[in-house]
Amino acid sequence: MLQAELPGARAEVESLASLQHAETPLKRFVALYAESRLALVAAGVLVLIVAAAIAAPWLAPQNPYDLQQLDVLDARLPPGEKSAAGMTFWLGSDAQGRDMLSAILYGLRISIGVGAIATVAAVAIGLSLGLVAAYAGGRTESLVMRVVDLQLSFPSILIALVLLAVVGQGVDKIIVALITVQWAYYARTVRSSALVERNKEYVEAARCLRLSSARILFRHIMPNCLPPLIVVATVQVAHAIALEATLSFLGLGLPITQPSLGLLIANGFSYMLSGKYWISFYPGVALLVTIMAINLVADQLRDVLNPRLAR
């Protein structure tokens, strides 16, 4: 699972790149994006965070999943204290004697991994269903869209909550829950842009050339539906991470032995009033910075990729 997250994140970056070099060079996109210095900083921070998450096993002073390395006697030490074995807890330790810095790095891995995998899978499902709906029309379309409408009229947290209450905890289960609550956004986004594209001249032209439906769909219509999808997807990664954190906080998300950021915060939640702020403060900051960086990047992407705001 942890290996799988890497291609996920990369695929997103790649699709983003391939999108642009088709017509105008990547340079134009980069130049447009770089217009906002804040967005540039956010992108930099995001790259750093993802890199840190990927490199967690090499960066972290301790493997927080290996019970042999943990000692309950080191529990709840404030930042800067040394463990019994002589290691320094730069960000303190939690109730298990886990080094918070290591736990945050590994937690980022899980949070971002879960968010990215769920989003990529949901994009794939939403994209295909949205395209098919738009292209096929008729019964198929109304069936797909009925389901989409129905699902979007319910808050994601509620659907995820019921689903998790029914299937239980676990990384795989929370990913399934996140996919279930997300795919409809993409299906709707893709369908509406595909509907616009379908009636454009180039599709007309392709039809005249007797190209196969599948070819028209995937080679011609799909690339043009991607920009809005990317914007939605970026925002949704942030949403997925936040949703996972909330579900974990409510006790319905991930198992405690491999804590995500949300679960780390939830664990430290009970220590807030007693002044042991570091157990939930630092994971909270990590979560905040991650979500904020993604949101800022998404914001700028929206401006850059929105044709109506083209300057």
Classify 87 as helix, strand or coil.
coil
**Least CB distance from residue 296 to other proteins, whole Å?**
6
* Per CB under 8 A, 48 contacts other proteins: no
**Least CB distance from residue 17 to other proteins, whole Å?**
25
DSSP string, 185-218: HHHHHHHHHHHHHHTSHHHHHHHHTT--HHHIII
Task: Indicate which single residue of 29, 111, 276, 278 sits in contact with other proteins (rule: CB under 8 A).
Answer: 276
* Per CB under 8 A, 207 contacts other proteins: no
Rounded CA separation 238/38 (Å): 18
Rounded CA separation 173/37 (Å): 39
Q: Are 253 and 164 in contact (CB under 8 A)?
A: yes
Residues between 234 and 273 with contacts to other proteins, criterion CB under 8 A: 238, 242, 245-246, 249-252, 255-257, 262, 265-266, 269-273
Residues between 165 and 194 with contacts to other proteins, criterion CB under 8 A: 165-169, 188
Task: Indicate which single residue of 21, 28, 146, 207 sits in contact with other proteins (rule: CB under 8 A).
Answer: 146
* Per CB under 8 A, 11 contacts other proteins: no
**Buried-state track 294-308, b at ≥16 Cβ within 10 A, e below 16:** bbbbbbbbbbbbeee
Q: Are 104 and 163 in contact (CB under 8 A)?
A: no
* Per CB under 8 A, 68 contacts other proteins: yes
* Per CB under 8 A, 153 contacts other proteins: yes
* Per CB under 8 A, 307 contacts other proteins: no
Rounded CA separation 132/138 (Å): 11
In the structure, how many helices (H) and strands (E) does the chain have? Answer: 13, 0
Helix or strand (DSSP H, E) at 182:
helix 171-198
* Per CB under 8 A, 304 contacts other proteins: no
Q: How many residues bind other proteins (CB under 8 A)?
A: 65
**Least CB distance from residue 4 to other proteins, whole Å?**
22
Residue in 176, 240, 180, 164 with CA at minimum distance from that of residue 12: 240
* Per CB under 8 A, 26 contacts other proteins: no
Question: How far does CA 101 lie from the centroid of its chain?
Answer: 22
* Per CB under 8 A, 109 contacts other proteins: no
Task: Indicate which single residue of 103, 229, 287, 304 sits in contact with other proteins (rule: CB under 8 A).
Answer: 287
Judged by the rule CB under 8 A, the positions of this chain that interact with other proteins are 67-68, 70-73, 75-76, 95-97, 141-142, 145-146, 149-150, 153-158, 161-163, 165-169, 188, 238, 242, 245-246, 249-252, 255-257, 262, 265-266, 269-276, 280, 284, 287-288, 291-292, 295-296, 299, 308-309
